[in-house]
């Protein structure tokens, strides 16, 4: 997408930007299809397209849409939003015709003929951002609401869109600016009336309050990021352990082929499910073993790649066999990673608990953790056959990634978490400069950087390439 350079004189005068148009509804058949236009020529294009001389803002007008030679392309409604009271802040026209691809494409071609240009990905949202109709968090929330994979993620995105998350960030920014003013004053007027502002404790307590607030927002944002992105869970283990059966159990349908032949799964297989509100991107993999079979070897290679990319790895083993065999699930994990992965990334799944008798069952049940190399690995006992233990597994997974969304959660992205973490680091630096070194200038500098990092979230300070990346990932027509 070609974005206008926000620093150029053109962007401050959007009348020089081309009028853009795009189909805003999904491609394909539908009762209604919407084409959206934004820019100074949108209104005149609508007049030329329909032969009407006037449209009243925010009123629907029923019209025919004409080709240059006067033939009718389609008929439908024209909606006019006069800038700056529109989504983009520019004049916006919406053409609501019928939802067939041929009709929509003909109408769009005619709109181009009349002077509009194809909108790039996210260009409508970018213009809204550029004209201060939305901040960056809100623009991202539109994309997140559309792409949401769960109801909770969608409603969180809508809350962020309405500005709730931005409000939290802006309150923090205000707090920070206030703090900076205090510090700057303390530097400029040292020992005024015999009071050393840097040491009188006021700045320190204000700084600590801000640090506490950042941690609260960070915790909310972490939940929002999990809601938005979910987690990548890879199912690995020896052939026949029941990995594909587990995938099917979690998916609630027969997605993967299950047989008693060891080596059934050859390729990796993905399925996305939402369980307890958390989106799990599951990957079933080929059973890990030495093999001469070319196809199986490629499958195992793919399994290894998937395993290293997992947020959480489920090492599935067959309780009736594997512990008696040479290799435990932990030894297998160690082989895969050359060393054991962090305990928080690994969960041991003891499968086929329905096949063991009561005595052995006790042994397995008490085995809630596996110990190796001084680390303790959590284990969940399940039966993919009966479904026993599956709820436990889901709860353990949520707990492992710290997922417990509050009632009114807000959607957030990794980008926001990174910026908040950096802000927290600069504040910690400022705290150290203040309390240990009593270095006023350095406190001021760390606070300035903290404010800068925080401002990146709402787009107050954002580099052009970051904006291009964010808006470029939106779909056309947004
Ligand atoms: N009794 C019992 N059988 C199970 C259970 N889970 C899986 N099985 C059986 O174990 C066999 C292997 O299951 P799969 O899910 O194909 O195992 P896998 O780990 O995907 O195997 P590969 O794809 O060959 O690596 C099948 O016959 C399943 O029906 C369970 O909890 N209890
Ligand atoms: Mg399988």
Q: Dump strand ranges (E) for 307-403.
A: 312-318, 346-351, 369-372, 375-381
Residues 61 and 76 in one domain: yes
Instruction: Write out the H or E segment, with its range, that includes residue 62.
Output: strand 60-66
In a 3-state reduction of DSSP, which class is residue 158? helix
Residue 90 sits in the same domain as residue 163:
no
| 115 lies in the same domain as 173 | no
Which of 86, 117, 134 marks a domain boundary? 134
Does residue 334's CB lie within 6 angstroms of at least one atom of ligand 1?
no
> Residue holding tokens 């992965």?
341
Interatomic CA distance for residues 98 and 30, integer angstroms: 7
pLDDT tens, residue by residue, 427-442: 999 999 999 988 888 9
385, part of any domain? no
What pLDDT does residue 222 have? 93
119 and 38 assigned to the same domain: yes
CATH number of residue 194's parent domain:
1.20.120.430
Q: Quick one: 109 and 176 in the same domain?
A: no
Task: Give residue 103's domain range.
Answer: 9-134
Please indicate whether residue 424, judged by its CB atom, sits closer than 6 Å to ligand 1. no
pTM value is 0.81
- Best mutation site among 238, 240, 254, 261 for ligand 1 pocket (most ligand atoms within 8 Å of CB): 240
For residues 41 and 111, membership in a common domain is answered with: yes
Given a cut of 60, whether residue 112 has pLDDT beyond it is: yes
Q: Is the CB of 271 under 6 A from ligand 1?
A: no
Give the C-alpha separation, 222 to 161, whole Å: 17
For the stretch 29-82, pLDDT in tens is 889 999 999 999 999 999 999 999 999 999 999 999 999 999 999 999 999 999
Residue 396 belongs to some domain of the structure:
no
Which of 235, 239, 245 maximizes ligand 1 atoms within 8 Å of its Cβ, making it the mutation to test the pocket? Answer: 245
Q: Is the pLDDT of residue 391 over 60?
A: yes
Check whether 15 has a pLDDT greater than 90.
no
Instruction: Indicate the SS3 state at residue 70.
Output: coil
Are 38 and 174 members of one domain? no
DSSP 18: P
pLDDT tens figures, 249-302: 999 999 999 999 999 999 999 999 999 889 999 999 999 998 899 999 999 999
Question: Based on the domain organization, do 125 and 242 belong to the same domain?
Answer: no
Max distance between CA atoms of the chain, in angstroms, equals: 87
| DSSP state letter for 232 | E
- Residues 123 and 141 both lie in one domain: no
Residue 303 shares a structural domain with residue 155: yes
| 474 part of a folded domain | no
CATH number of the domain enclosing 130: 3.30.1360.120
Q: How many domains does the chain have?
A: 2
Atom from ligand 1 closest to the CA of residue 355: 1
């Amino acid at each position: 997408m070609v974005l206008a350079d926000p620093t150029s004189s053109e962007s401050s005068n959007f009348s020089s930007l081309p009028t853009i148009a795009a189909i805003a509804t999904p491609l394909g058949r539908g009762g209604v299809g919407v084409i959206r236009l934004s820019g100074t020529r949108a209104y005149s294009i609508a007049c030329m397209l329909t032969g009407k001389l006037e449209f009243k803002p925010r009123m629907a007008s029923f019209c025919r849409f004409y080709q240059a030679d006067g033939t009718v392309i389609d008929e439908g409604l024209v909606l006019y939003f006069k800038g700056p009271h529109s989504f983009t802040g520019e004049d916006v026209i919406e053409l609501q015709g019928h939802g067939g691809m041929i009709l929509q494409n003909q109408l769009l071609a005619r709109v181009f003929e009349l002077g509009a240009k194809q909108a790039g990905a996210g260009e409508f949202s970018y213009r809204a951002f550029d004209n201060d109709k939305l901040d960056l968090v809100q623009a991202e929330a539109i994309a997140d609401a559309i792409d949401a994979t769960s109801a909770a993620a969608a409603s969180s995105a809508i809350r962020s869109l309405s500005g709730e998350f931005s409000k939290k960030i802006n309150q923090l920014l205000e707090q920070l600016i206030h703090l900076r003013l205090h510090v700057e004053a303390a530097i400029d007027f040292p020992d005024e009336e015999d009071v050393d502002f840097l040491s009188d404790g006021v700045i320190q307590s204000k700084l600590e309050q801000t640090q506490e607030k950042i941690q609260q927002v960070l915790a909310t944002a972490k939940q929002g990021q999990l809601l938005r992105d979910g987690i990548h869970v890879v199912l690995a283990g020896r052939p026949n352990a029941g990995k594909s059966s587990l995938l099917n159990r979690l998916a609630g349908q027969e997605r993967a082929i299950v047989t008693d032949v060891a080596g059934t799964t050859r390729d990796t297989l993905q399925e996305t499910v939402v369980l307890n509100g958390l989106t799990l991107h599951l990957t079933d993999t080929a059973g890990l073993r030495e093999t001469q079979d070319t196809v199986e070897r490629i499958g195992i290679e793919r399994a290894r790649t998937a395993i290293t990319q997992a947020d959480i790895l489920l090492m599935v083993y067959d309780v009736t066999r594997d512990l008696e065999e040479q290799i435990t699930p932990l030894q297998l994990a160690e082989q895969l990673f050359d060393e054991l992965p962090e305990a928080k990334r690994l969960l041991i799944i003891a499968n086929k608990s329905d096949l063991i008798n009561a005595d052995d069952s006790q042994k397995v049940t008490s085995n809630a953790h596996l110990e190796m190399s001084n680390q303790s690995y959590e284990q969940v006992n399940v039966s993919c056959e009966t479904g026993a233990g599956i709820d436990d597994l889901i709860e353990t997974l949520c707990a492992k990634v710290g997922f417990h969304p509050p009632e009114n959660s807000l959607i957030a992205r990794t980008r926001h978490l990174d910026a908040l973490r950096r802000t927290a680091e600069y504040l910690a630096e400022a705290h150290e400069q203040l309390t240990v070194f009593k270095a006023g200038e350095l406190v001021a500098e760390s606070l300035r950087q903290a404010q800068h990092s925080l401002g990146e979230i709402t787009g107050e300070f954002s580099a052009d390439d970051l904006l291009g990346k964010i808006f470029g990932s939106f779909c056309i027509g947004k």
